[in-house]
Structure 1
């Protein structure tokens, strides 16, 4: 489950783990990190529980592990290929880890590279691979940017579309296709309110 509220600056995600545990991820803005440095455990718990649905879910729960965090992971895009070599996954592009796409994209891009090189290693094949990677990650990069800083990159129309969709299991499943379905992306989900500005080229 994923939530971004109008009243809280943070994103909160949760997923079930083994042994009855529930992983709870809090995404905060870089400029809020001083509060976490002062007391990251207390700040984490307070900000997670500031989301009403999360507070209800966690009522009576006990923290089962230390609170761990990472600060300000910068994104980047690199050239995807050169004479006789090619990159995949995080070696080409790094998006905000909020979308948890690294392994999935590395595996998918390995498939794209294998397909491109099936007829031999040459510049045309590698350029074709780079184009395929760009098409594959374009909408996913827009989605990651929007989730990373909704205050900067999410339009009111996108917020309304996302809020309505994620209120139902079917709508949430449709939104997750943006990340996991090559044939359904950011533009398809958001329609006329989708931002189609281009991220940097691989």
Structure 2
């Protein structure tokens, strides 16, 4: 324990946690690879969650993990709700196609269902990205590594602008790449208040 500006501080080693976070973020980024991507994504999520939990515990900032887990749960909930709306639209299409002659009306129903699914997912994704941004901002300030703040901000802006012909997806991917770099280049030891 040392003194800094009259406050007791201690050095904390986060080398294992930053490695887990970097590998987890990279695996999540690779989750779009056909066939093996689902497995990579699930493994990445587990590594990332463990990393965020352990880092927040070691640096005594539980709000980092709280915000990250809220963002994760919201993102998962958004996908589930969107999937349910989408499936209900297609089920209603196939169920009603034998009973109605007005195919335009059935198509409109599917279109509205898919639109609602995408809108709900879009809104929830923005809120989830906000929580990620806040978690990474606290992490950046606490360990004095601003790449985390940049990654979170790009992911948040990406979530908002995803409706602008793919610009958001590009920003989101760049944010994830910066997050991977942030984890791998973060300091192994950080000084925190005791």
TM-score by length of 2: 0.29
Q: Which has the larger radius of gyration?
A: 2
Higher share of residues assigned helix: 2
RCO comparison, higher one (Cα < 8 Å, 6+): 2
